[in-house]
Chains A and B, each alone.
Chain A
Amino acid sequence: GAVVSQHPSWVICKSGTSVKIECRSLDFQATTMFWYRQFPKQSLMLMATSNEGSKATYEQGVEKDKFLINHASLTLSTLTVTSAHPEDSSFYICSARSEGGKLFFGSGTQLSVL
């Protein structure tokens, strides 16, 4: 079946630094990828829709200058958390839509900002 690889699986960083998370579709091309955030005991919340070759679409309340999304190829989208702060500590997960329309999730990235 289709596989979505997300890297790193966990990261610890200092406050004020930037962190990049990669999401790759390994055996299919994904023109659209999605980034979600999940706080403890909360649901997955859609942050943004990443479109290959164009700007990402951000959900209301998500700062586009803080969460930079780049979808430079049909198999790779990256999320960069700029100037991370402790309140950005969360579980970030991507999903990719296959040509058939099915959604596949990455394994997620646990971000801890000290």
Chain B
Amino acid sequence: EDKVVQSPLSLVVHEGDTVTLNCSYEVTNFRSLLWYKQEKKAPTFLFMLTSSGIEKKSGRLSSILDKKELFSILNITATQTGDSAVYLCAVPSSGGGADGLTFGKGTHLIIQP
């Protein structure tokens, strides 16, 4: 059974701080790892990682994958109150075909002014 574990489950920091969110996974047939930001309802896509060691970057957000140690991190630098959200990590299910995603429980990030 595929498994995704995120830590911490919640995090409160001040504006301007840098945060690192963690995601470890166990999948039978790894294809990719995805990060989403869930603010109110619908998760919005952040990154898809398939290769180890290659950092993906989008503004103040960056992410990297370690396929040997089976984890990924999501970094947010110079945090802003608008970064407050639940950050979800997910992997496509190991079954073949168009299977859905297995999500972690998410990290609830709160940025205080």
A and B assemble together: yes
User: A residues engaging B (CB < 8 A)?
Assistant: 4, 6, 9, 31-32, 34, 36, 41-46, 49, 51, 91, 93, 95, 97, 102-108
Contact B42 A46 (CB under 8 A): no
CA distance A36 to B103 in the complex (A): 10
Instruction: Given A43-B88, A46-B93, verify A36-B100 contact (CB < 8 Å).
Output: yes
Q: Decide: A106 near B105, CB < 8 A? Known: A43-B88, A44-B88.
A: no
Cα A46 to Cα B101 in complex, Å, equals: 7
Q: Taking the complex as formed, is B41 at the interface, i.e. its CB lies under 8 A from any CB of chain A?
A: yes
| 25 A–B contacts, CB within 8 A, in A order | A6-B42, A9-B41, A32-B98, A41-B105, A43-B88, A43-B105, A44-B43, A44-B88, A44-B90, A44-B103, A46-B93, A46-B101, A49-B98, A49-B100, A51-B98, A93-B43, A95-B100, A95-B101, A97-B98, A103-B101, A104-B45, A105-B43, A106-B42, A107-B41, A108-B42
Instruction: Indicate whether B80 reaches chain A with its CB closer than 8 angstroms.
Output: no
CA A103 to CA B100, docked complex, whole Å = 9
The answer to whether A49 touches B99 (Cβ under 8 A) is: yes
CA A46 to CA B43, docked complex, whole Å: 14
Using CB atoms and an 8 Å cutoff, list the residues of chain B in contact with chain A.
Answer: 41-45, 88, 90, 93, 98-106
Chain A residue with Cβ nearest B48: A102
Q: Which residues of B contact A103 (CB under 8 A)?
A: 45, 101
SS class of chain A's interface: helix, strand, loop or mixed?
Answer: strand
Shortest CB distance B34–A (Å): 8
Q: Are A105 and B98 in contact (CB under 8 A)?
A: no
Q: Name the contact of B104 in the complex, choosing from A41, A43, A46 (C-beta under 8 A).
A: A43
Q: Which residues of A contact B103 (CB under 8 A)?
A: 36, 43-45
When distances are taken between beta carbons in the complex, the residues of chain B under 8 Å from A105 are 42-44
Closest chain-A Cβ to B44's Cβ sits at a distance in Å of 8
Closest residue of chain B to A34 (Cβ to Cβ) is B100
User: Contacts of A31 on B, CB cut-off 8 Å?
Assistant: 98
Contact A91 B88 (CB under 8 A): no
A106 to B101, CA, bound (A): 15
